[in-house]
Amino acid sequence: MTNLAISVSNLTKIFADNKAVDTLNLEVKEGEIMALLGPNGAGKSTTIRVLSTLSGFDEGEIHIGGIDIDRDPETVRRTIGVVAQQTGVEYFMTGRENMMVQGRLYKMKKADILKRIDELAKYFELDKSIDRLVTTYSGGMRRKLDIATALIHRPKILYLDEPTLGLDIHSRKLLWKYIEELNKKFGLTILLTTHYLEEADGLSHRVAIINEGKIQISGTPDELKNNIHGDSVVISFDDVTDKEKAYAEGMKQGGQVIDTLWDGNNLHLYVDNGASSVPPIMEQAAKDDIHVKTLSLARPTLDDVFLKYTGTSMLDTGEEEAEEWWHQWAGKDGGKNWKGNKWVEADGTQKGEWEESDDWQGNDWVNADGSSKEAATTEETQEGESADWQGNEWVNKDGEQKGDWGDSKDWKGNDWVDTDGKPKEDWNGSEQQVASDDSNVTDDSQNESAETTDKTEPASDDTANWQDKEGESADWQGNDWVDANGKPKGNWDK
């Protein structure tokens, strides 16, 4: 048997029409902490799901602890512990009950499970809360319980999918400590995914950068960082003279720095190892009788790493995760059967709708705003308000009606009376109706009534009528648009 805990060769997993994982190769040695580092949608979670037997795959070969995952998934399941992104713990059970059920699913004996629960609870410092309902747990505690349940059957290999996602800094650091100790004390092999550079850096022995379903590069954190840019030491001077320039040139010639770059009075020195290169840099400066005003040391960011190995900034590769779970739930056949199609269909239509409504909003906003903006420049306050109002109007159509109505307070009072006068009669129809409408409004919404009492009478009538006619908004809007703008009326008809 090899001493490889996980060996993945040419793994490909296809969802619908895109390759979530594309000929991925990965090796994790026994007793190692390996981090899969990449942005959302890079294929991290999919890889973990495939390696946990939760998803099938289209091509490739996977051995976990020397066992072919395709031939004997049951044995693989006994070998691994999995902590998924969502904490799958039951909220209406106690910590102990959660662990008990999980232990039972691994066919463990009750006494053995109880012993193991005590061990794990103690280890994760959950012993005081183990008999409390999970609803009372904090996010960090839930995460710890989740990891503890995954360890109930004493697995040799532990997968952690974004273990610290959504945790505060303190809980995150605490969790890192536990993970590190699990590895050191118990020799657990750990494969974790993350998009935090510090997590990959501080916690893991080796890091594999994954993007678009492929491992771009892997190595120890130091190797990767040295490969990337090196650090940059930035020195700023009061003034740049020939002396400083000579110093910079000397540093480069002398081989202490890889490259130099001037940025005003700041000198960027690229070095392999920032911390250890600062003393010689300062010594040289002292020798050359140069006064250094400030010195700062910048370490490569995740984005730098990414830029180097993927050619794109990590910020551009983000992908919405909202519905990813169904994505991941597609079966072994990936996108080749109805599941895939179904998913695409659902997603496709949804996206379509969104885009349409976006465009539509976009156009509309441009129209409404554009015309009103011109006006707004001539008469700032009043027309500005009416611009807002048009804005709100559109938003209304999208469904956020009431809140926005409430917001355009000034408008109801001033704008109406100012711009219109006449139209008021148009909509009111009859005076009696107005009165009854007014009372309706008072009943309906407190805000509204509070407001109407502040205003002058005609204004309040308007508001009332307005509110009431929301149901028949077509007519009313029609009138209104004609009054205020003329043009946008066309939009409404659309």
Q: Which residues contact 245 (CB under 8 A, 6 or more apart)?
A: none
Regarding 101 and contact with another protein (CB under 8 A), the answer is yes
Taking residue 143's Cβ as centre, other Cβ atoms within 10 Å add up to: 26
Regarding 109 and contact with another protein (CB under 8 A), the answer is no
The minimum distance between CB 327 and another protein, in angstroms, equals 10
Q: Which residue is listed with tokens 């995740």?
A: 302
Regarding 28 and contact with another protein (CB under 8 A), the answer is no
Q: Which residue is listed with tokens 């001539």?
A: 378
Q: Which residues contact 469 (CB under 8 A, 6 or more apart)?
A: 427, 475, 476
Question: DSSP assignment, residue 336?
Answer: G
Regarding 133 and contact with another protein (CB under 8 A), the answer is yes
Q: In what order do the strands lie in the sheet with 189-194?
A: 80-83, 157-161, 189-194, 33-37, 206-211, 214-219
Regarding 490 and contact with another protein (CB under 8 A), the answer is no
The residue within the footprint of another protein, chosen from 7, 59, 67, 78 (CB under 8 A), is 78
Helix (H) or strand (E) run with residue 341 in it? helix 338-378
Regarding 88 and contact with another protein (CB under 8 A), the answer is yes
Residue 93 or 114: the one with the smaller Cβ distance to another protein is 93
Regarding 13 and contact with another protein (CB under 8 A), the answer is no
Regarding 193 and contact with another protein (CB under 8 A), the answer is no
CA separation for the pair 230, 242 (Å, rounded): 27
Regarding 106 and contact with another protein (CB under 8 A), the answer is yes
Regarding 107 and contact with another protein (CB under 8 A), the answer is yes
Binding-residue total with another protein (CB under 8 A): 40
Regarding 343 and contact with another protein (CB under 8 A), the answer is yes
Regarding 59 and contact with another protein (CB under 8 A), the answer is no
Taking residue 444's Cβ as centre, other Cβ atoms within 10 Å add up to: 13
Residue 221 or 340: the one with the smaller Cβ distance to another protein is 340
Question: DSSP assignment, residue 316?
Answer: G
Identity of the residue numbered 104: R
Residue 115 or 342: the one with the smaller Cβ distance to another protein is 342
Binding track over 135-174 against another protein, x by CB under 8 A: --------------xx--x---------------------
Rounded CA Rg of the chain: 32
Regarding 265 and contact with another protein (CB under 8 A), the answer is no
Binding track over 366-405 against another protein, x by CB under 8 A: ----------------------------------------
Q: Which residues contact 186 (CB under 8 A, 6 or more apart)?
A: none
Helix (H) or strand (E) run with residue 194 in it? strand 189-194
Q: Length of the chain, please? A: 494
Question: Which residues form the interface with another protein (CB under 8 A)?
Answer: 52-54, 56, 74, 77-78, 80-82, 84-90, 92-93, 97, 101-102, 104-107, 133, 149-150, 153, 325-326, 329-332, 339, 342-343, 346
